[in-house]
Amino acid sequence: DIQMTQSPPSLSASLGDKVTITCQASQNINKYIAWYQQKPGKAPRLLIRYTSTLESGTPSRFSGSGSGRDYSFSISNVESEDIASYYCLQYVNLWTFGGGTKLELK
């Protein structure tokens, strides 16, 4: 099974900051990583697939990069609506999620 190590578990940011979340896979996942946003009581929302492809409707302040085992997800100019939890997902071999990152306002 492929394991996904996501960090940090929590993150505190001010409005307008840039934040970065990382996920490391236990083996090469060939860029098959997606990133989701989840707000309390809401359905997870797919933001990015295949490392860096933004889903329709995803604001351009969200971005993703990486290759091999190491991937990152960034939000530039954090807005209040971005306060949520974020999860990575590898989908090259079955499906494994990262442990999540809770983004809070400083």
Partner 1 sequence: EVQLQESGPGLVKPSQSLSLTCSVTGYSITSNYWGWIRKFPGNKMEWMGYISYSGSTSYNPSLKSRISITRDTSKNQFFLQLNSVTTEDTATYYCARWRGIPNYFDYWGQGVMVTVSS
> Given the complex with partner 1, which of 13 and 97 has the nearer CB atom?
97
Site string for partner 1, 32-61 (x = CB under 8 A): x-x------xxxxxx--x-----x------
The answer to whether 65 and 23 have CB atoms below 8 angstroms apart is no
**Residue of 62, 71, 73, 87 interacting with partner 1 (CB under 8 A):** 87
Helix or strand run (H / E) with residue 15:
none
Q: What is the largest CA-CA distance in the chain?
A: 38
The minimum distance between CB 77 and partner 1, in angstroms, equals 26
State yes or no: residue 92 binds partner 1 (CB under 8 A): yes
Question: Cα dihedral angle (100, 91, 39, 76), rounded to 10 degrees?
Answer: 80
The answer to whether 67 and 31 have CB atoms below 8 angstroms apart is yes
3-class SS of residue 79: coil
The minimum distance between CB 93 and partner 1, in angstroms, equals 8
Chain residues in the site for partner 1 (CB under 8 A): 32, 34, 41-46, 49, 55, 85, 87, 89, 91-92, 94-95, 97, 99-100
